[in-house]
Chain A
């Protein structure tokens, strides 16, 4: 699914990622943990194609394609999804309209016909119910006056509706209370299957109690310093980043 080799990234001359290797196969959930400033979020932006980041070296293969050659929207339409740490507010654009536009952009890219209003409404309703999200919220402007928890739930709803092949969750757990955390995690768990993959970026082990990863990686100073299974997350919780890395 995703194969990162010897990745070096800098922003405004400052080196952030310094030789990172990571391989994610179909059906796997990987957790990436690390202290602040270790390069976690940078990796999520580089994968999704945000500008301002300079790739100094390395390759990223995504399902046989050179990911770095694709535009942001092409990557998205090829099934790469980023759940944002800080989802953006877009005043005047109803959330449901935004969702419909996103779905139809993808369908257009894939050469499929537009989803009609009725089909879309059904899909949205069933997905929202599945995730315990009130459809009332979707009538409001995208993320405007949403609470932190609502924003994250909305991200998960988008993810579920777009059913990505590769989903990256960038500190989705930050600022969530326990109920929201449960809804978000359940959303991810329902979506998990043998054909898609997840990269869960987090600072705390807490989220991994709900989303059980197959692999855990610890990133420090732009490199993966240790990889293991779920037990590594528990070990980290106990000993802290200092000792492990």
Chain B
């Protein structure tokens, strides 16, 4: 059988049963009725016991949302979303009165995280990683809190931060992604439920990886993550998020807003391993992952680095960006996006150069198999004051089979003649001779694909925190399992 034929055959056999996080957890939930309106927003705010200013902020965002059209730029086929046919808040009943210790948490929920490989109990906690676990609309627990607070680091759910650190939240929330940015950003601002809040004080280098694990469990429920990370002067933090969801036939929405702020000489490293349920091979079900991530390098010599491994979701719409305001600041974007079967991804970055001597680097690796479509869309914008700005962009696409698509859409705008912008792009098909060579050395076809694709993604994967790099390599291989012979 020709390898291409085999490829297609094996891609077809790759059903949703291969998604190993597809189980759901039976819990009693608190859920307001379906629908999006001011009452629901008030309900969410009241559930979270929020101060008045927060509710007003949300209601204002909702007004903005109603005026904004859906963003249209992506090369995606997004079915019309009925915002009224969705739940906006769902929390397990047992978490209503915030549990004071893990003993008070529903064992079912703890077991869910255990199954996902994220044990929350003290004796089993992952070493070197502090975890904030978000279950549907609420943060379940945050590990290593005490050890971190001794260093002055704040790592808690955003809901807690609204109450405990209102001055920081007021100052920075919406300062990087304005409410009016686009309709998904406005929607998130109106109904955001939970996510993480991190503040690293001046001069502190966070000694452990901080991490959030997002789990969508309830049916028909949107998850509206809101994360805010502030790295004060001369500080450093590395943050990682992971995401999974049960297998369900209907689509679910995950619309996140993530804002990062780096002050003078601060560095934020933000890594994502996104493995939401991708839907079945016919494209039924799966998560719509509409995410706005943006970091502001406000201070001089500051640095923000995004690394993402996007393997899940039915549709991924995501452009983690950097606003390089501070002189000598640096932005980086390392991305692996894998689409298989009917998955669609339109992802990339924006690097906005404002300060002098700012530099940015973009390495994007798109892998497409089955009937999937994968687009890199990126903007490099160099403003007139950004003297001596530099950008290097490399976009590589790898096709597996002949029914998938890869597209590269780079936008470059430069208003400064001192700047230097480089763009390299390649598209290749997985080479049958390479596969034959590996198989002749004893590797089976799946191991051979895993090896070649991991080689293709190496430049990106090596930027992940070490603890996760091995997991990510396995995930890359699993996402393409059976896609090539």
Contacts and interface: CB of A to CB of B under 8 A. Distances in A.
Bound together: yes
A52 B2 contact: yes
Contacts of A21: none
B86 interface: no
B334 to A, nearest CB: 14
A109 B442 contact: yes
Interface string B397-436: 0000000000000000000000000000000000101101
B341 interface: no
A76 B440 contact: yes
B171 interface: no
Contact of B442 (A50, A51, A88, A106): A106
A222 to B, nearest CB: 22
A102 B443 contact: yes
Contacts of A109: 442
Nearest to A86: B433
Nearest to B453: A92
Contact of A105 (B431, B433, B444): B444
Interface string B447-485: 100011011111100000000000000000000000000
A51 B2 CA distance: 6
B420 to A, nearest CB: 26
Given A88-B433, A90-B434, A48 B454 contact: no
Nearest to B444: A73
Contacts of A106: 442
Interface string B219-238: 00000000000000000000
A230 interface: no
A102 B442 contact: yes
Given A88-B433, A92-B456, A51 B3 contact: yes
B441 interface: yes
A71 B1 CA distance: 11
B157 interface: no
A93 B452 contact: yes
A90 B440 contact: no
B441 A88 contact: no
| Binding site secondary structure of chain B | helix
Nearest to B5: A51
A98 interface: yes
Nearest to B396: A91
A88 B437 contact: yes
A76 B455 contact: no
B364 to A, nearest CB: 15
A158 B437 contact: no
A72 interface: yes
Interface string A37-72: 000000000001111100000000000000000011
A76 B437 contact: no
Interface string A97-119: 01001100110010000000000
A98 B441 CA distance: 9
Nearest to A91: B455
Nearest to A168: B440
Interface string A70-100: 0111011100011010011111110000100
Contact of B443 (A51, A81, A101, A141): A101
Contacts of B434: 88-90
Contact of B451 (A52, A84, A98): A98
A105 B2 contact: no
A91 B458 CA distance: 9
B386 to A, nearest CB: 33
Nearest to A103: B442
Given A72-B436, A92-B459, A158 B441 contact: yes
A72 B440 contact: yes
Contacts of A105: 441-444, 447
Given A52-B2, A92-B454, A84 B441 contact: no
B439 interface: yes
Nearest to A72: B439
A87 B437 contact: yes
Contact of B441 (A50, A92, A102): A102
B445 interface: yes
B440 A48 contact: yes
Given A52-B2, A88-B431, A93-B451, A73 B457 contact: no
A12 B436 CA distance: 19
Contacts of B440: 48-49, 72-73, 75-76, 81-82, 84
Nearest to B456: A92
A162 interface: yes
Nearest to A82: B440
A106 B443 CA distance: 8
Given A51-B3, A158-B441, A101 B455 contact: no
Interface in A138-191: 141, 158, 162
Nearest to B437: A88
A93 B454 contact: yes
Interface of A: 48-52, 71-73, 75-77, 81-82, 84, 87-93, 98, 101-102, 105-106, 109, 141, 158, 162
19 contacts: A49-B440, A51-B3, A72-B440, A73-B439, A73-B442, A76-B441, A84-B440, A87-B437, A88-B433, A88-B436, A90-B438, A90-B451, A91-B455, A92-B457, A93-B458, A101-B443, A105-B443, A141-B455, A162-B442
Q: Which 5 A-B pairs have the closest CB atoms?
A: A92-B455, A92-B458, A105-B442, A93-B455, A102-B441
